[in-house]
Chains A and B, each alone.
Chain A
Amino acid sequence: MDDHLMESAPTMHQTLQNIIAACNRVILGKEPQIRLALACILARGHLLIEDLPGMGKTTLAHTLAQVLGLEFRRVQFTSDLLPADILGVSVYDRNAAAFKFHPGPVFTHVLLADEVNRATPKTQSALLEVMEERQMTMEGETRKLPEPFFVIATQNPTTHIGTFPLPESQLDRFLMRIRLGYPDARSERHLLAAQGGRAILPTAAAVTDAAGLIRLQAAVTEIRVADALLDYLQALLEASRRDPRLEMGLSPRAGLALKQAAQAWALMQGRDFAIPEDVQAVLPSVAGHRLINAEGGPADASVLLNSVAIP
């Protein structure tokens, strides 16, 4: 079925297609994850990538930044990383006879927080605070972060040694959590032949730039969400709180995240309105890390999908 191209900006759809195509050339065989990650960025959300080491988490983050034409910083989180190592530090400048602020790596468009769960809770919360505020206050002075700004955090499965699992309240600040998984045989072959992956990352050209991304993000908020769809969203939230299989339901923030992600997904489909399928496409990634099942373990968001009829 042909989608309904946006009359106002048919080029936006084209731009998005180009971004996806460019990423696909580097990250092989992971188009669904690329689409979700892009939707997350378009919805002005932060992204959590959770997988085993060596699955291409960092490459994905790096590729996205490069294709979107954004400034990119990477911080490797370790257990001795301090908040100042991310945020920056004021140092006394003898010449100016004053403290001078040396901005940390957080002052960028895309911050890749690699292995975020290896840092201490103190450092984690410093990062998560700026993620939410998109600005930082130090010594009475408030400094805005650049626009656009988003964090792509990667995380090892928490069962690994030397990790501080992110608490639920922190996980809620990530709009989406995705998993990459092993590549399929064909992609893996290409990867081994150095026809993809980090090897060809330098060749990936920027499709848009910061201003272009801001325009795209603005377009997302314009995507129409009809009353009927709000009913559906509400039914999903309601069900997540009432379902006896789930111990913890979705927060209102999660509801907003779900709506924004669905809008972004609709934009990527070239529609100026969102439909239930958009919600269904993003729900597992938006809700997966926020739900806790009755046994206290991670819950499968698809149980939610199947139990709520579309009004």
Chain B
Amino acid sequence: MTEQKLMLHLRWLLRALALVLAPFMFQLTPWVPLMALLLGIWRYWLAYRQQPLPGMKILAPLTIVGALGILASHGGIFGRDAGVALLVLMAALKTMETRTRRDITLAVFLGYFLCVCVFLFTQSILVAGYIVVPLVMLTATLVSLSQPGGGLSGGAKLKLAGLMLMQAVPVMLVLFVLFPRVPGPLWGLPEDMARGQTGLSEDMSPGSISELSKSDAVAFRAVFKGQVPESSKLYWRGPVFWHYDGRTWRAGQPPKPAGETHLQPLTAPMEYTVTLEPHNKSWLFFLDLPTHWQTAGQLTADYQVLSREPVRQRLRYDAASTLHYLERSQLDATTRHRALQLPTVGNPKTRQLAAQWKAESPTPQAIIQRALQMYRDGFTYTLNPPQLGASPIDGFLFDTKRGFCEHFAGSFVFLMRAAGIPARVVTGYQGGQSNPMSDYLIVRQSDAHAWAEVWLQDEGWIRIDPTAAVAPQRVERGIAAAIPATEPLPALARPELTWIKRFNLGWDAVNNGWNQWVLGYNDQRQAAFLSKLAGTKVDWGDMARWLVILLSLVVAAIAGLMLRNMPRQTDPVQRQWLRFVEKLARVGIVPKPAEGPKDFAARAALQLPGKQAAIEHITRLYLQSRYGGRKGLADLHRRVREFQPR
């Protein structure tokens, strides 16, 4: 390959690789894409100045330094980040030794592989759309490589590459819809995949939920079978906390699986489907209280539903809950002990107040009412509560009186326990935003909430939300209604439907479709969709059969289109000649591009000395008939038919 042509192909390759690199800029340790970029620029400069490539003396240390750098940055070469970083770096180093067509081809295929790797980090619609650009560029590089004369212009190469990828689209669609899916991922995804995802955590302390509330990120989306219940009924149950250490609420001990439940639904269960964003924890969110959870996970004794392993990929599950129920559970000694646990020291004023209430009130219900009344009088619901000291509950109840839901829920449970009423903290989400562009509910991190449950004799566990006492708007109309406009609430949680919010909701609807139909197209969804399409139950065998049939049809259709665009041979003389050429092609004598019939025949006669006379005769007849205006078709036809190259 001449220097000039190499430069041409290389320009395509480097541009394509730079485009592949772009999304990694946001995902990898910054020095890795930067080093790759610098290597690419160096390679380009060398080609431009027609300077020799660096030898092993420079490349080998560079490779070792790069590998050591990745080891140092990631503590190993396994896992998603380190693996992809290594691949990016090696692809860039590979360009430093591209001298031949083969090298460039190899680098192109590395580029294709990197395109796939982008999806290990994010599978959003935008990235999927973007990846088409480097894909076309990489394919154009291959087009450029396969042009011996370097003939086509840049635009024509891009067009051809685009056309080739377009032709692959039907095949892609058929494979996507019909290729049998296996349950779960094909291979274990690395642990570090779920890094940096936001969501509820396994403990609660003052400030933890208000911090989360500042995030716009989607926690999950839900589609209801029937009417969406009013906002104040939407308590999405998450982790339940029993143990308080004076500052932080925790589960205390691993949740026990539910034994016999004492749940009596009073109305028909509400059916809905949740699409949960990965949050790297195992709890699944259900409306209080779940009646159908079996396909999603396991129910615990405190009505959490836990999946078998942490949710690292978007998860879709069907659920049903009853919103009106009786929960007449009995409290065994251990559970009662857990539900009354308090640290031995701290918050003396609160304990004193609880003791006073207990002495003055005839029933637990009265104590609860006094507590809620206290919150209503003089407490403020705010995202930015003041700092609390060593006795946070005393500080909150008697001094600052400003707090977010975790302050109210935490202090309420403390009060109840101090007054001898079994109680626990429940965290999760409250409410959600109906997307007017599409029929589903978006629940964001800003909807995170904490509330309390108390156990009463003959009534079982009942939900008490002290926040609702302070700021009833919070549960009725969402957080934005309850928080003063001056506080820093995420824009999307605000109720005004600005154009930016409208755009965002529309975009969220598109994303939801993408999640449901593209990313969430798993084995169950595939089986359901195809069965619905076919009208009967569809199994793997059917899918495979349809796959083969549809792929054949697609290929046949494309072939048909291409054939139709080819000039149809109408001249009968020429048809006979082509038959003759085809017979020779079968024994390996193929006309070169633009080789004249006479030259071709002479070459054929040279290769088949025994057939020389026949070849020459046929050629003479053909030339006379096609170019000489003589009538020889019948004779030509007969001789071509009789001609046997062997």
Contact of A275 with B623 at beta-carbon distance under 8 Å, contacts A228-B574, A305-B594, A309-B593 already known: yes
A residues 250-285 touching B (CB-CB < 8 Å):
271-277, 280
Does B476 sit within 8 A of A, measured CB to CB? Answer: no
Cα–Cα distance between A272 and B151 once the two chains are bound (Å): 37
With A1-B619, A275-B598, A310-B594 given, is the CB distance from A226 to B149 under 8 Å? no
Known A-B contacts A1-B619, A311-B567; A306 and B629 likewise in contact (beta carbons under 8 Å): no
Chain A minimum-CB-distance residue to B619: A1
Determine whether the beta carbon of A275 is less than 8 Å from that of B601.
Answer: no
The answer to whether residues A309 and B599 also contact, given A4-B628, A226-B629 and a CB cut-off of 8 A, is no
Contact of A226 among B153, B601, B605, B626 (CB under 8 A): B626
The interface residues of chain B lying within 8 Å CB-to-CB of A276 are: 596-598
Beta-carbon contacts under 8 Å, A190-246 to B: 224, 226, 228-229, 243-245
Give, as a whole number of angstroms, the nearest-CB distance from B607 to chain A: 15
Q: Which of B145-187 contact A (CB under 8 A)?
A: 149, 151-153, 156
Residues of chain B lying within 8 A (CB to CB) of residue A90: none
CB neighbours (8 Å) of B624 from chain A are: 4, 273
Contact A244 B152 (CB under 8 A): yes
> Is the Cβ of A228 less than 8 Å from the Cβ of B627?
yes
**B602 within 8 Å of A by Cβ?**
yes
On chain B, the residues within 8 Å of A275 by CB distance are: 596-598, 623, 627
Note all chain B residues with C-beta closer than 8 A to A272. 628
Question: How many Å lie between the Cα of A306 and that of B149 in the bound state?
Answer: 10
Within 8 A of B (CB), among A1-58: 1-2, 4
Query: CA A269 – CA B479 in complex, angstroms?
Result: 96
- Bound form: Cα–Cα A271–B624 in Å: 10
Contact of B627 among A1, A224, A306 (CB under 8 A): A224
Q: Which residues of A contact B628 (CB under 8 A)?
A: 4, 224, 226, 271-273
Interface residues of B in 580-613 (CB under 8 A from A): 593-599, 601-602, 605
Residues of A within 8 A of B487 (CB): none
Answer whether residue B571 sits at the interface, using C-beta atoms and an 8 A cutoff: yes
Query: In the assembly, what is the distance between CA of A229 and CA of B573, in Å?
Result: 14
CB of B216 within 8 A of chain A?
A: no
B596 touches A277 (CB 8 A): yes
CA of A274 to CA of B598 in the docked complex: distance in angstroms? Answer: 12
Determine if B629 and A1 form an interchain contact, defined as CB atoms under 8 angstroms apart.
no
CA–CA, A4 and B599, complex, Å? 16
B247 at the A interface (CB under 8 A) = no
Q: How far is the CB of B624 from chain A (nearest CB, A)?
A: 7
A277 lies within 8 A of B593 (CB): no
In the complex, which residue of chain A has the Cβ closest to the Cβ of B567?
A: A311
A303 at the interface (CB under 8 A from B): yes
Q: Are A277 and B151 in contact (CB under 8 A)?
A: no
Q: Tell me if B629 and A224 are in contact (CB < 8 A).
A: yes
Closest partner residue, chain B, to A273 (CB atom)? B628
For chain A, residues 71 to 100, give those with C-beta under 8 angstroms from any C-beta of chain B.
none
Measured CA separation A287–B596 after assembly (Å)? 18
A229→B627 contact, CB < 8 A: yes
Q: Does B616 contact A (CB under 8 A)?
A: yes
Flag B217-230 by CB within 8 Å of A: 1 or 0 each.
00000000000000
Chain B contacts with A in 320-364, Cβ cutoff 8 A: none
CB-defined contacts of A224 to chain B, threshold 8 Å: 627-629
B620 close to A (CB within 8 Å) = yes
Chain A residues lying within 8 Å of B598, measured Cβ to Cβ, are: 1, 275-277
CB distance from A266 to the nearest CB of B (A): 9
CB distance from B594 to the nearest CB of A (A): 5
Q: Which residues of A contact B571 (CB under 8 A)?
A: 228
Residue of B nearest to A228 (CB): B626
- Asked if A125 lies at the interface with its beta carbon under 8 angstroms from chain B, I say no
Bound together, the chains give a CA A276 to CA B623 distance in angstroms of 10
Tell me if A307 is interfacial: C-beta within 8 Å of chain B. Answer: yes
- Shortest Cβ gap from B67 to chain A (Å): 44
Report the bound CA distance from A70 to B599 in whole Å: 35
Most buried by B among A226, A229, A274: A226
From the candidates B156, B593, B599, name the one contacting A306 in the complex (CB within 8 A).
B593
- Is there contact, CB below 8 Å, between A1 and B620? yes
A1-B619, A1-B620 known; A309 vs B594 contact (CB < 8 Å): yes
Complex Cα distance, B152 from A307, in Å, reads: 12
User: When A224-B628, A275-B596 are in contact, do A303 and B567 touch as well, CB less than 8 Å?
Assistant: no
Contact B149 A308 (CB under 8 A): no
Distance in angstroms between the alpha carbons of A244 and B149 in the assembled complex: 11
Asked whether B601 lies within 8 Å of A1 as measured between CB atoms, the reply is yes
Report B's interface with A, CB cutoff 8 A.
149, 151-153, 156, 567, 571, 574, 593-599, 601-602, 605, 616, 619-620, 623-624, 626-629
New A-B contacts (20) at CB < 8 Å, excluding given A226-B629, A274-B627, A303-B149? A1-B616, A4-B620, A224-B628, A226-B626, A226-B627, A228-B627, A229-B627, A243-B151, A244-B151, A244-B152, A244-B156, A273-B623, A273-B628, A277-B598, A277-B599, A307-B151, A307-B593, A308-B594, A309-B593, A311-B567
Chain A positions within 8 Å of B, measured between CB atoms, are 1-2, 4, 224, 226, 228-229, 243-245, 271-277, 280, 303, 305-311
For the complex of A and B, list the 10 residue pairs with the smallest distance between their C-beta atoms, beginning with the closest.
Answer: A273-B628, A277-B596, A276-B596, A226-B627, A1-B616, A273-B627, A277-B598, A275-B627, A244-B153, A306-B594
Interface pairs (26), CB distance under 8 Å: A1-B602, A1-B605, A1-B619, A2-B616, A224-B627, A224-B629, A226-B629, A228-B571, A228-B626, A244-B151, A244-B152, A273-B623, A273-B624, A273-B628, A274-B627, A275-B597, A275-B623, A275-B627, A277-B596, A307-B149, A307-B151, A308-B594, A309-B593, A309-B594, A310-B595, A310-B596
